[in-house]
With several copies, the nearest count.
Chain A
Amino acid sequence: MPNHTLISQCRKDFPILKREVNGYPLAYLDNAATTQKPKSVIDAITNFYENHNSNVSRGVYTLAEEATEIYESGRDAVANFIGAEDSGTIIFTSGTTESIKLVSSAWGQKNLKKGDRIILTEMEHHSNIVPWQLAAKSYGIELVYWPVTTEGRLDLALLEELLTNSVKLLAFTMVSNVLGCINPVEQITEIAHSHGVPVLVDSAQAVSRMSIKVSEWDCDFLAFSGHKVYGPTGIGVLYAKKERLEEMLPFQGGGGMIRHVEKQSSTWAVPPQKFEAGTPPVAQVPGLKAALEYLKQYGIKQIERHDNELTEHALNQLTEFPDLELYGPSEIQNRTGVVSFNLQNVHSHDVAQVLDESGIALRAGHHCTQVLHERLGVPATVRMSFGIYNDPSEIDRMFSALDQARAIFLH
C-alpha cells in the first residue's frame, strides 16, 4: 500500500503525535471534533507574531502593509482551495457557527418573512439548526426537516416533495459528523435551484477530506472552520456567491466594515469587508493558509484514498462484532472516515473512558446532533473519526481496547 507509506510520513509533521497518554502513544481518533496541527501551521502563526504582527487594512506603514498583504493572500488561498472564482466572495469569520449565523442574520433579515420555509436535514449539527430556530422566532418562518433514511442517507426523491413554493433556503451538511455519509452537493444544489431555492452547504467536515468546488457546484453559501482542516482555532470561512452577497445586510457593526459613520446612521463598505467588523483573526489567517497548503502538498486525491482505506478497515471490523451497532452507512461508497457505533448495554461515556486508559482519544455523546440521535433512537454514540495521520493499527488498538470495556462492564 504505497499510500500508507506516504501518509505515514506525515505523522512526523505533527508535534502532538509524539505524546503519550496513560503510558500509551496517543491514538487521536477525534478528528471530527478538531484536527491536530502540523508544524508548518504553528510556525506560520509564530512567524506572523514574530515578524509581521500589526492590524490590517488601515495602516500605511511597512508592518501594516505586510500584515494586510498576508491577510489578503490568505483570502486568495481560501478562494483557490474551495474553487471560488473571486476572492471577494470569501468572508473570514470565527468559525462555521458564526458563518451560518451570519447567513441566518445578514441574509435572513432581508430575505425571510412570515410564512416562508427553510429546509434542514435531520442530520444537521446544532450549528445549522439553532440559528434557524432563532431566525424562525424573529421572522416567523417555519423549519422543515428532510428525513434521514434508515441507511443513514438523504433521499433525493423526497427533496422534490419538500421544495414547495414557500421554501426560501435549503441548508444541509455535506458530510454528517456522525453518520459519515457524503451528501451529493452538486445534485442537491441543482434540484434546489430548479425550484429557485438557494442552498447553504455546511462543509465543516468536508473541506479536510475531499475537494470542494463552489463555483462549479454553483452553491450559494458554504461554511467551514479552520480548526477542522488542520488550521487554527478562532477562524472560519463563509463563501457567498456574488448575488447573495448583494442581498445581505451588515452583520456586526464596527471598524473596517463602514464607508462613512455619522451619529445616527452609517453607510457600508463593499463585500467582503462589509461583513468583517472589527479586528479580524489576523494571525489565524496565515495559519489557515499554511494548513491549506499542507493539504495541497499531499493532495486531496491521496488524502481521500487514505481516508477510504481507514474507513473500510474500521467498517470491516465493526461489522464482525454482533454486540457493536453501527450508525450510518455500512457500505464505503460516498462515505468518509467518521464512524459512530455503540457497544450493547454499555454507555458511550463508559466506553470512551476505558479507551482513554489505553491512550485512545475519541468522543462519546450526541456530538451536537440531538435531532439526529432522536431519529437514531439513542441518546449517545461512540464516534471515531480519522485524520490524515491515522494508521490502521490505531483502529486495531481501538477494537482491542473495546475488549477491556466488555470485560469491565459486561462480565
Chain B
Amino acid sequence: MTRDTIYRDILLEHARHPKNSGRLENPGLSASVHNPLCGDELELTLALSGELIQDCRTIVRGCSICQASASIMSEMIIKKTLKEAIITGRLFDESLRKDNEDVPEMVEPLRPFLALKTHRSRIKCMKLAWDALEECANQDKSPNYT
C-alpha cells in the first residue's frame, strides 16, 4: 500500500462517515460558503463559550475532498479558541502553497490533503470549510484576527 493510497483511504473514510455533520440550533456563529467553480455549498455552525469553540457542525453539498476537509476540520477545531482555529487554517493555506512537504505541527492532521496539492483545481475544495471558518471569524467583530 502506497502512502498516497493510505491518505486517500483516510479521506474517503471521512467523506463516507463525516464527523460532526449537521447544523447546531442557535449557533454562536454560522456561515454558508460556495465554490463557484463547481457549485458546491457548505454550511458551518459554531457554538462558542467565550473564545472557545465548544462545538461545531457542517452540512456539505460537495465532493469527497470537500466533505473530508469539513469532517477533519471539525475534529481539529473543537475545544480550540477561534483564534487558534483561524491560525491553523492559515498555516494549512501556506502549506498548500509551499513546494516542500514540511508542515507545522498544528497542520499535521491535514497531511492527506497535502498529497493532493498538485491538483490545483481541488485546492478550493480542500479549503472551503476553512473559508467558512474565516467567514465566521469576520462576523465575530470583537477580536482582531488579522
| Partner-B contacts on A (CB < 8 A) | 57-60, 64-65, 68-69, 258-260, 269, 347-350, 353, 364-366, 370, 373, 379-380, 408-409
Contact = CB atoms under 8 A, between A and B. Distances in A.
B38 A348 contact: yes
B122 A379 contact: no
A343 to B, nearest CB: 12
B61 A65 contact: no
Interface centre among A58, A69, A269, A347 (most CB of B within 10 A): A347
Nearest to A365: B38
Given A379-B39, A409-B12, A347 B62 contact: yes
Q: Which 3 A-B pairs have the closest CB atoms?
A: A347-B63, A379-B39, A349-B63
B40 interface: yes
Contact of A65 (B15, B121, B125): B121
A64 to B, nearest CB: 7
Interface centre among B36, B119, B122 (most CB of A within 10 A): B36
A370 B37 contact: no
A370 B39 contact: yes
B55 to A, nearest CB: 27
A60 B64 contact: no
B119 A347 contact: no
A260 B119 contact: no
A58 B37 contact: yes
A409 B67 CA distance: 13
Given A64-B121, A349-B63, 11 more contacts: A58-B37, A60-B119, A60-B121, A65-B118, A259-B34, A259-B36, A348-B38, A366-B39, A370-B39, A380-B39, A409-B15
B67 to A, nearest CB: 8
Contacts of B122: 60, 349, 353
Nearest to B39: A379
Interface string B120-146: 111001000000000000000000000
Q: Name the interface size band of chain B.
A: 20 to 34
Interface in B8-46: 8, 12, 15, 34, 36-41
27 contacts: A58-B37, A60-B122, A65-B119, A65-B121, A68-B120, A69-B120, A269-B36, A347-B63, A347-B66, A349-B38, A349-B40, A349-B63, A349-B65, A349-B125, A350-B63, A350-B64, A350-B65, A353-B119, A365-B37, A365-B38, A379-B38, A379-B40, A379-B41, A379-B61, A380-B39, A409-B12, A409-B15
A225 B8 CA distance: 39
B101 to A, nearest CB: 19
Contacts of A60: 119, 121-122
Nearest to A410: B16
Nearest to B120: A65
A365 B37 CA distance: 7
A353 B122 CA distance: 9
B14 to A, nearest CB: 13
Contact of A347 (B34, B36, B37, B64): B64
A297 to B, nearest CB: 25
A260 B38 contact: no
A409 B64 CA distance: 9
Nearest to B118: A65
Nearest to A57: B37
Contact of B38 (A69, A269, A366, A409): A366
A226 to B, nearest CB: 24
A349 B121 CA distance: 10
Interface string B53-80: 0000000011111100000000000000
Nearest to A349: B63
A403 to B, nearest CB: 16
Given A347-B62, A350-B64, A409-B64, A260 B36 contact: yes
Contacts of B39: 365-366, 370, 373, 379-380
Contacts of A58: 37
A380 B38 contact: yes
Nearest to A381: B39
A100 B25 CA distance: 46
A75 to B, nearest CB: 14
Contacts of B8: 408
A275 to B, nearest CB: 15
Interface centre among A258, A379, A408 (most CB of B within 10 A): A379
Contacts of B37: 57-58, 365
Contacts of A379: 38-41, 61
Contacts of B61: 379
A146 to B, nearest CB: 23
A408 B63 CA distance: 13
A362 to B, nearest CB: 13
Nearest to A408: B12
Contact of A364 (B15, B38, B64): B38
Contacts of B62: 347, 349
Nearest to B16: A409
A219 B39 CA distance: 34
Contacts of A409: 12, 15, 64
